[in-house]
Amino acid sequence: MILNMEHICKSYYRGKNEVPVLHDVSLRVEEGDYLAIMGPSGSGKTTLMNLIGCLDKPSSGSYHLAGEDVSVKKDNALAELRNKYIGFVFQSFYLLPKMSALENVALPLMYAGVPKKERVDRAREALCSVGLEDRMKFLPNQLSGGQCQRIAIARAMAGRPTLLLADEPTGALDTASGEQIMELFSKINAGGGTIVMITHEPSIAAHAKTICHIRDGRLSAPEEVRL
């Protein structure tokens, strides 16, 4: 089991006022799963993604990621878990504007302590696998939105994550580029990659193998996607 959340609640505090956002959320993800989490604006999708990605901790309940108990970790241990297990893809690509595609993909590997030659090799390989072998030296502003998102996916995959976590990965893209990103996700999943994707678009969620719905901070049981 890659991810096991049991009875998770999450509240934010505004001064002394508690704002409950997630209520009794339980979720399991196994190796090779491809799950879409769908829900309207304000339903708690990003809050849940931040918990899954170890960017934040639950208020109560238990969360195990790759067998490790996330809820008892301190902040720097949380960052370690995140680097070790999670590859992130966001709606806005968060590429460094003065770095080439290759440098953007290789940079996190430097922080992970990967030696230089291997960093470059892995970054090249990741960019080839997203179809950007002819764009390695380009800067982000010389590339389309879809290409930038493919760099972000290459960056996430170059770290060989246990879980690829995506929050509205096609939210900033036109339909055709969005479909390309979905093809890439299907390819990653077919190669054994595990994906959790957050989206409010049914046509995007339909690419996953299972879908959970979140409403007012409550998560439904997963449903199989029928093609």
Ligand X SMILES: Nc1ncnc2c1ncn2[C@@H]1O[C@H](COP(=O)(O)OP(=O)(O)OP(=O)(O)O)[C@@H](O)[C@H]1O
Q: Pick the piece of the chain touching ligand X (CB under 6 A) from 40-48, 74-82, 107-115, 146-154.
A: 40-48
DSSP track, 79-147? HHHHHHHEEEE-SS----TTS-HHHHHHHHHHHTT--HHHHHHHHHHHHHHTT-TT-TT--GGGS-HHH
* CB within 8 Å of 84: residues ≥ 6 apart: 66, 162
H-run or E-run covering 204: helix 202-205
Residue 46 interacts with ligand X (CB under 6 A)? yes
Considering the complex, state which of residue 21 and residue 219 has its C-beta at the smaller distance from ligand X. 21
Residue 46 interacts with Mg ion (CB under 5 A)? yes
Q: Which positions from 108 through 147 interact with ligand X, judged by CB under 6 A?
A: none
Query: Residue 74: which of Mg ion, ligand X, none does it interact with, CB under 5 to 8 A by kind?
Result: none
Nearest to residue 185, comparing CAs of 89, 83, 66?
89
Residue 92 beta carbon to ligand X: minimum distance, rounded to whole angstroms: 12
Residue 43 interacts with Mg ion (CB under 5 A)? no
Residue 199 interacts with ligand X (CB under 6 A)? no
The conformation of residue 168, written as its DSSP 8-state character, comes to S
Considering the complex, state which of residue 44 and residue 108 has its C-beta at the smaller distance from Mg ion. 44
What sign has the CA pseudo-torsion 63, 44, 75, 109? positive
Beta strands in 40-92 (DSSP E): 60-65, 68-69, 86-89
Residue 4 interacts with ligand X (CB under 6 A)? no
Considering the complex, state which of residue 17 and residue 141 has its C-beta at the smaller distance from ligand X. 17
Considering the complex, state which of residue 8 and residue 101 has its C-beta at the smaller distance from ligand X. 8
Residue 169 beta carbon to Mg ion: minimum distance, rounded to whole angstroms: 12
**Cβ count within 10 A of residue 19:** 9
Residue 204 interacts with ligand X (CB under 6 A)? no
Q: Pick the piece of the chain touching Mg ion (CB under 5 A) from 21-29, 40-48, 128-136, 154-162.
A: 40-48
* CB within 8 Å of 72: residues ≥ 6 apart: none
Footprint of Mg ion (CB under 5 A): 45-46
Footprint of ligand X (CB under 6 A): 12, 14, 19, 21, 39, 41-47, 200
